């Protein structure tokens, strides 16, 4: 499992906000009617589309990708010399005694386990970084959403992505993206420390 196939994907998808999901939710209804009267007081919002289209979300996604690439480079740098030693061992294994082979395999296995541990740590760091960035963006977006909600006269707010079809005149998403862009366009952050694992132990 490589970080660039897991955490980079997580960073790109979870923070960029699955822009395709918002489109799919409205375009997959086929022949269902997409017009009709707007329902007063009922409004819609796609948080995924906000994060995907707002400048701050795009900037955060790019930064997360950069951090994931750096993490992967570090893991690759650790792995490559071990892989070279594995190839060297395979080339001479037939001329070694059983005890020598066992000792070599054990040493190589321990080194590879260390790389896997480091990879898992990097993955946890990237997830913690993503979560913190999302929280920070959400703190900026919340008052913008509240303002749009009030100015539109909303009485209830639904997730736009669960709407099969209908009149979306009360969709707050574009206004929230515009308001968020006017408020903030980027955020700065570095890789967070890995969360401390909860061992589940209790103090007597």
Tens-digit pLDDT profile for residues 155-177: 999 999 888 888 888 999 999 99
Distance between the two ends of the chain, CA-based, in angstroms? 39
pTM for this predicted structure: 0.75
Could you tell me where the DSSP H helices lie in 93-203?
98-151, 173-183
Give the helix, strand, coil percentages of the chain, each rounded to 5. 70, 5, 25
CA distance 79 to 117: 12
pLDDT given for residue 201 in this prediction: 53
CA distance 62 to 15: 10
pLDDT given for residue 199 in this prediction: 56
CA distance 64 to 98: 47
Asked if pLDDT for residue 138 goes beyond 70, the answer is yes
Residue 160, Cβ density class (10 Å: 0-12 exposed, 13-18 middle, ≥19 buried): buried
Phi/psi for 186 (5° steps) reads -155, 160
Closest CA to 85 of 106, 65, 63: 106
pLDDT given for residue 197 in this prediction: 67
Q: What percent of the chain has pLDDT over 70?
A: 79
Asked if pLDDT for residue 46 goes beyond 60, the answer is yes
Asked if pLDDT for residue 67 goes beyond 50, the answer is yes
pLDDT given for residue 21 in this prediction: 37
- Per-residue pLDDT tens digits for 68-78: 999 999 999 99
Which residue do the tokens 């395979």 mark?
A: 90
């Amino acid at each position: 499992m490589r970080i660039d196939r897991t955490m980079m994907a997580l960073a790109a998808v979870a923070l960029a906000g699955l822009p395709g999901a918002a489109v799919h939710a409205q375009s997959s209804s086929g022949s269902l009617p997409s017009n009709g009267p707007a329902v007063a007081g009922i409004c819609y919002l796609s948080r995924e589309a906000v994060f995907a289209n707002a400048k701050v979300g795009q900037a955060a996604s790019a930064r997360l990708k950069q951090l994931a690439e750096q993490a992967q480079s570090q893991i690759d740098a650790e792995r490559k010399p071990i892989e070279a030693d594995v190839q060297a061992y395979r080339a001479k294994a037939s001329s070694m005694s059983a005890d020598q082979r066992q000792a070599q395999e054990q040493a190589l296995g321990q080194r590879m386990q260390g790389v896997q541990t480091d990879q898992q740590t990097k993955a946890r760091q990237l997830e913690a970084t993503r979560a913190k960035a999302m929280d920070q963006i959400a703190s900026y977006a919340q008052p913008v959403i509240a303002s749009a909600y009030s100015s539109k006269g909303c009485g209830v707010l639904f997730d736009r992505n669960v709407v099969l079809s209908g009149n979306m005149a009360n969709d707050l998403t574009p206004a929230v993206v515009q308001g968020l862009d006017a408020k903030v366009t980027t955020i700065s952050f570095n890789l967070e420390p890995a969360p401390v694992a909860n061992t589940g132990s209790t103090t007597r």
